[in-house]
A = this chain, B = another copy of it.
């Protein structure tokens, strides 16, 4: 599968759906035999940023490290899916400049919805004051001003969000527009069609 390196940079609150959507995108890109790596916030905190906390400085360091690795992979032709909260606009903009082939995807799920889902039970603890500096509760989140894509997880499923990203990548020639995957149950191999 012909494709170019690019970093798809998800940003949004904890529980917004970043990792879920990234996993769907990764699965579909693997069906297309693309080189793809997902850098999930939790995985990165284990492998690159153990010991860092959640102060502004430590958050910026964590995000810059993900950006450094994304940069290395992207310039070697890999499609990188970064799924960390990355709350601060200036660091995201800095990484956009560094990486070049950079698609900012804002997963815009509102705070009350994320807190209502509360998949990891973190919002409950944050609102009880047990987690200091929790993004959206006791720490700021700065939404992107001009993201390439804004995903509304209230009106679409994770698969639909993933398809929106794949469409963007096709339209901007990061992946080959002639290849198409088939989502019907029972099919696990991509089907090539002419669009």
In the complex formed, the residue of B with least CB distance to A69 is B69
Number of copies: 2
Q: How many residues of A contact B (CB 8 A)?
A: 16
A51 to B58: give the CA distance in the assembly, Å: 11
Residues of B within 8 A of A77 (CB): 35, 76-77
A35 to B77: give the CA distance in the assembly, Å: 9
Residues of B within 8 A of A51 (CB): 51, 61
A48 to B65: give the CA distance in the assembly, Å: 6
Contact with A76, one of B47, B48, B65, B76 (Cβ below 8 angstroms): B76
A176 to B119: give the CA distance in the assembly, Å: 49
* A residues whose Cβ falls under 8 Å from a Cβ of B: 35, 37, 47-48, 50-51, 61, 64-65, 68-69, 72-73, 76-78
In the complex formed, the residue of B with least CB distance to A46 is B68
A72 to B64: give the CA distance in the assembly, Å: 17
In the complex formed, the residue of B with least CB distance to A58 is B51
A61 in contact with B50 given A35-B76, A72-B73 (CB within 8 Å)? yes
| A71 to B: closest C-beta gap in Å | 9
